[in-house]
A and B are shown apart, each in its own frame.
Chain A
Amino acid sequence: MTTEILTATALKKYFVVGRTGWRDRQAVTVKAVDGISFTMYEGETLGLVGESGSGKSTVAYTTIGMYRPTSGSLKFRGQELFQNGGQRPMSLRKAIQIVFQDPGSSLNPRRNIKQILELPLQIHQPGKNRLEQIVHLLEVVDLPPEYMYKYPHMLSGGEKQIVAIARALATNPSLIILDEPTSALDVSVQAKTINLLLRLQKEFNLSYLFITHDLSLMRNVASRVAIMYLGKICEVAETAGFFQNPLHPYTQMLLSSIPVVSVEEEALKPKKVLSTGEIPSPVNIPSGCSFRTRCPFAMDLCSKIDPVMVDTGKGHSVRCHLVSQPAAA
């Protein structure tokens, strides 16, 4: 039951975004993903949380093959996804699908829904009765069949996102990357979309890599959570344990900053670790632990040495000197 579906080991993706000065011409590099390791299991939802620019989408785009990693390994069911230069085999491209954040721009405005869904069906399941398949896909996501003839601009934001989900399902994938699938939607439309995703997951035994910056949403959909800060994962844990006992100072700051709607939730927030400071520029990441410039507990050691990930048991890992070098504190 705990078969690995996606395994990242020391995965890095750097972007060269410019050059310094006129003389020295040093490359300016954004370390968008800077050596992350994680494992996803069949049928689970792994939540990937982090502030804007922390590298979540870069992880997503690398997984679907839009970017080649700078170094490190990424395996799908034990098979390396980036074998020396070659194109990814069709079977792998079918198996891993993505739903993007912005439902508007990911659908071609000049094609109707039928044409949008036909394309992946043609590539991945040639030969069968196309119309029947499209009607079936729409049924699976609870859209009436007459939606086939609508164009994206005639749909609401939520409906567009549901079409994007249907398009991802067309190839019969086993892993779907959901890159902030509901952050552009209203809470009530979000609720409908999330419930659809959860039903589909059960029905087709899908694994989800669920990217969001909404921890309250994460609490309700993910089995495990990984927190990213400036290109690195700083904490991974099972969802329940994570919310009960957040260990990394950044995670505590995140949790204490969430606005909530009830007194019960208020009680669950860690005692105020007040958020201070600006998020550093990704081209100029602080030495040692990259969180130290905002961390209320930073010690001497933190500016010198980047902490390593330590397992604290029960699948709860954290990257912080307070945990790995408590004596220094």
Chain B
Amino acid sequence: MAGSPVTGFSPAAPLLDVKNLQVHFAVYGGRLRVLDGVNFSMRSGERVGLVGETGCGKTTMMKAILRVLPTPPAKIPAGEILFKGRDILKMRDHELRAVRGRGISMIFQDPTAALNPVFSIGEQVEAVIRYSTSPGKASSREETHQRAITALQEVALADPERLLRSYPIQLSGGMRQRVCIGMALSTRPEILIADEPGTSLDVTIQDQVLRLLRKLVEEKDTSVILITHTLGIVRETTDRVYVMYAGNIVESAPTARLFSQPLHPYTQGLISTVPRLTGGGIVSGIPGRIPDYLNPPSGCRFHPRCSQMMEICRTTKPPAFKMGDGHEVACFLYKDEAK
């Protein structure tokens, strides 16, 4: 099997299946036990949201999936990341290259940082396209250039020839964000990971960027993992949501259901603190803060902040209880209702 795309992969199986993933970081004074057995899966064509407060491990999980975590300090003591049935963690370099090129592509949190200021837009877009082309099928310069032009046209950027010759500082924030999206999609990935796309932009420009993203993934049937702190964006853009707390997935459900019937006390707290356009003041939020990963709480990691904590929560880690209709929640309050 010379690194060819996986044969015999069934379309009904998950496209990406993360099983019991643990990620630790070695630091002075011990080990940060950040990801604590994450389970996450998505089917082809699905748009999945990932939410949770700062430091809960969202970016760490994506970096593990792309295998770009620096090791050391990072260590993956357990877990599997199955992409089309094959474990990314066990792949050899050439297979990994194929996954990063045409399998999974990522738009990073900050478009200013993602684009290198000393290279022209053209040099950067063309480099991405060349990297993703399988060795042996190397395309001509002209072909690469044409694909770069198409990539910018697809994200509604006018005058792509001129833009390709420009440098990042000559573009507005909205244009830079669109270049990043165009670049990420130019390789025709099967999964697009978008980490806070456009959230540093004005809402009107952000809305334009997100509408474009939605249109493109629909046209190309791309699967998407969307990470953002703006819960409204998740509600308007995804089919299903995963909620992460301190390195654990605590709840997952179809998007509409998660927003109308959140079950986990953390999710309920998170959604209730979002300021509403309808007014009514600001709910005081969840007391306390995310735990120290050197000595994370025993049992349910949320228990020190939970208003409904029971004895068992202190001692035992809650499994994901299945509540029907694709709704799962890792909380002992639902132990008896689980199906």
Q: Could you list which residues of chain A lie within 8 angstroms of chain B, going by C-beta atoms?
A: 51-52, 156-158, 186-192, 194-195, 198, 213-217, 219-221, 239-240, 243, 253-255, 257-262, 264-265, 268-269, 275-276, 278-279, 294
B280 interface neighbour in A192, A215, A220, A260, Cβ under 8 Å: A220
A254 touches B203 (CB 8 A): yes
Q: A215-B203, A219-B279, A261-B235 are in contact. Are A188 and B273 (CB under 8 A)?
A: yes
A259 touches B230 (CB 8 A): yes
Q: Which residue of B lies closest to A240 (CB)?
A: B279
B285 touches A187 (CB 8 A): yes
B202 touches A265 (CB 8 A): no
Q: List 14 A-B contacts (CB under 8 A).
A: A191-B282, A191-B285, A195-B282, A214-B275, A215-B203, A215-B277, A216-B277, A219-B275, A259-B230, A259-B233, A260-B232, A260-B276, A261-B259, A268-B278
A268–B278 alpha-carbon span in the complex (Å): 7
Does B123 belong to the interface (CB within 8 Å)?
no
Q: Kindly provide the distance from the CB of B313 to the nearest chain A CB, expressed in whole angstroms.
A: 20
Q: Kindly provide the distance from the CB of B286 to the nearest chain A CB, expressed in whole angstroms.
A: 5
Q: Which residue of A lies closest to B272 (CB)?
A: A191
Q: Kindly provide the distance from the CB of A3 to the nearest chain B CB, expressed in whole angstroms.
A: 26
Given A190-B282, A213-B203, list of 17 further CB < 8 A pairs?
Answer: A157-B54, A189-B285, A189-B289, A191-B273, A191-B284, A195-B282, A214-B275, A217-B282, A220-B282, A258-B232, A259-B235, A261-B235, A261-B274, A264-B278, A275-B204, A279-B172, A279-B174
Of residues 235 through 285 on chain B, the ones whose CB sits less than 8 Å from some CB of chain A are: 235-236, 259, 269-271, 273-285
Q: A191-B282, A192-B284, A262-B259 are in contact. Are A52 and B202 (CB under 8 A)?
A: yes
Count chain B residues whose beta carbon lies closer than 8 angstroms to a beta carbon of A: 41
B278 touches A279 (CB 8 A): no
A265 touches B275 (CB 8 A): no
Contacts of A195 in B (CB 8 A): 282, 284-285
B232 touches A259 (CB 8 A): yes
Which stretch from B67-75, B79-87, B205-213, B323-331 is at the chain A interface? B205-213
A257 interface neighbour in B204, B229, B235, B289, Cβ under 8 Å: B204
A219 touches B276 (CB 8 A): yes
B174 touches A278 (CB 8 A): yes
B269 interface neighbour in A188, A254, A260, A264, Cβ under 8 Å: A188
Contacts of B232 in A (CB 8 A): 216, 258-261
Contacts of B275 in A (CB 8 A): 214, 216-217, 219-220
A257–B205 alpha-carbon span in the complex (Å): 9
For the A-B complex, the count of residue pairs with Cβ-Cβ distances under 8 Å equals 129
A259 touches B173 (CB 8 A): no
Q: Which of B235, B274, B282, B285 has the most CB of A within 10 A?
A: B282
Contacts of B284 in A (CB 8 A): 191-192, 195
A220–B284 alpha-carbon span in the complex (Å): 13
Of residues 140 through 192 on chain B, the ones whose CB sits less than 8 Å from some CB of chain A are: 172-175
A186 interface neighbour in B174, B208, B229, Cβ under 8 Å: B229
Contacts of A258 in B (CB 8 A): 203, 232, 277
Does B310 belong to the interface (CB within 8 Å)?
no
B277 touches A268 (CB 8 A): yes
Q: Which of B175, B204, B233, B286 has the most CB of A within 10 A?
A: B204
A275 touches B54 (CB 8 A): no
Does B338 belong to the interface (CB within 8 Å)?
no
Q: Which of B208, B259, B278, B281 has the most CB of A within 10 A?
A: B278
Contacts of B280 in A (CB 8 A): 220
A214–B231 alpha-carbon span in the complex (Å): 13
A103–B247 alpha-carbon span in the complex (Å): 26
Q: A215-B277, A257-B203, A259-B236 are in contact. Are A276 and B54 (CB under 8 A)?
A: no
Does B201 belong to the interface (CB within 8 Å)?
yes
A240–B278 alpha-carbon span in the complex (Å): 9
A191–B53 alpha-carbon span in the complex (Å): 13
Q: A257-B207, A260-B235, A261-B271 are in contact. Are A51 and B202 (CB under 8 A)?
A: yes
A215–B276 alpha-carbon span in the complex (Å): 9
Contacts of A268 in B (CB 8 A): 277-278
